[in-house]
Amino acid sequence: MQIFRHPDPAQWAALQQRPLPDSNAAVLARAGEIFDEVARRGDEALRQYAAELDGVPTLSDLLVSPAELAAGAAQVPPALQAAIRQARHNIEAFHAAQRPAEVEAVVETMPGVRCWRRSVAVPRVGLYIPGGSAPLFSTLLMLGVPARLAGCRQIVLCTPPSRGTGHIAPAILFAAHELGLTTIVKAGGAQAVAALTVGTATVPAVDKIFGPGNRYVTAAKQLAAQRGVAIDMPAGPSEVLVIADASANPVFVAADLLSQAEHGPDSQVVLLTDSEAILTQVVAELARQLPLLPRAEIARQALVESRAVLLPDGAAMLEFSNQYAPEHLILAVATPEDLAAGIINAGSVFMGHFTPEAVGDYASGTNHTLPTGGYARAYSGVSLDSFYKKITFQQLAPAGLAALAPVVETMAEAEGLRAHAQAVAVRRLALAQQ
């Protein structure tokens, strides 16, 4: 890790820079080509990309059959089945508590003018779940549980088939079975996002797409948004920031940093501490623990662009963190409640020495689909609300229209929108003639 001791606040912005991504122009261009091919050739293009990009030369059926679903789910060891069920229970309990009233309180903004808002589930949603070397069945729980709770009428799952076999990872199939998902498409990458956007003979088009992925998936989601399909949020490499005081356990802190670094070589981890001893000990622990990891080389690459920063006190660490706006924020301090009150920019916060970020990734109940790259300054993570849209309603009684008409007419005339004023005036005159 890069180490900085008591940097001047004027230098903080430079220290808060994320790793620079590869040129996005070429990635967007390639994703655009894939979009065009899927729009033009549909399922045929999906099979072609399965052969070219996923190493599955003969993919006869793009959909997982009921028999495949049952057989794949049955391969999951009992211990993992139990873990997935417990995680689902916790995620469901947390998200169910977010369920809004179907109709919010009716507000009479003035006599005879009633306004209210109703929550309606997004009808058709697409869930993109990465496969490959790390099939993210946990992400399927994070997205599938709130989609089912919200009551989305159609849920389409896209996930890439395993290279060579064309099968979907058993843990993903088990999680899908537990959630009652039946439309499971063997497609990954930008081509899956394109199929969910434009629709094919096999893949239904959806209204909103959720889920993480590589840079091609991210680019494809940007293209989907340009074509009128909503996406969950801007996505980028994963990250964690740890605030650690003298009470922190350096073994714990190093493990937390590495747990995020192993996501990918472009992940970033940041340590803030006001203790020279903790700084030194954590760096030593990183060196000790890193070689023990199966994904050590990936984590090592991530550490190259990661930073450990010594700051004077908790107030400075909190200010630095709020400026950075981390996806994950761990408060490895003696009294995390004191710092928590001042947090304004973070995706998800993990408080105290016994709350590792990994519990939020899997099973505490909160959602792990979170804003990265500083987007936590303005975006929230995925929640039950992400699967709803809010529709406003208003209803005016004759007396309400009569009272509100002069206001609307005056404002419309001032903006030069005569037809707006007229739409109110003709009703006002009709009422006056009654």
The reply to whether 128 sits in an annotated binding site is yes
Catalytic residue from among 37, 178, 239, 327: 327
The reply to whether 323 sits in an annotated binding site is no
The reply to whether 260 sits in an annotated binding site is yes
Task: Kindly report the three-state secondary structure assignment for every residue of the chain.
Answer: CEEEECCCHHHHHHHCCCCCCCCHHHHHHHHHHHHHHHHHHCHHHHHHHHHHHHCCCCCCCCECCHHHHHHHHHCCCHHHHHHHHHHHHHHHHHHHCCCCCCECCCEEEECCEEEEEEEEECCEEEEECCCCCCCCHHHHHHHHHHHHHHCCCEEEEEECCCCCCCCCCHHHHHHHHHHCCCEEEECCHHHHHHHHHHCCCCCCCCCEEECCCCHHHHHHHHHHHHCCCEECCCCCCCEEEEEECCCCCHHHHHHHHHHHHCCCCCCEEEEEECCHHHHHHHHHHHHHHHHHCCCHHHHHHHHHCCEEEECCCHHHHHHHHHHHCCCEEEEECCCHHHHHCCCCCCCEEEECCCCCHHHHHHCCCCCCCCCCCCHHHCCCCCCHHHHEEEEEEEEECHHHHHHHHHHHHHHHHHCCCHHHHHHHHHHHHHHHCC
Clarify whether 167 is annotated catalytic: no
Clarify whether 328 is annotated catalytic: yes
Catalytic residue from among 328, 357, 368, 409: 328
The reply to whether 328 sits in an annotated binding site is yes
The reply to whether 238 sits in an annotated binding site is yes
The reply to whether 191 sits in an annotated binding site is yes
Binding site per annotation, positions: 128, 191, 214, 238, 260, 263, 328, 361, 415, 420
Active site residues: 327-328
Q: Which residues are annotated as a binding site for substrate?
A: 238, 260, 263, 328, 361, 415, 420
Q: Residues comprising the binding site for NAD(+)?
A: 128, 191, 214
Q: Which residue numbers belong to the known binding site for Zn(2+)?
A: 260, 263, 361, 420
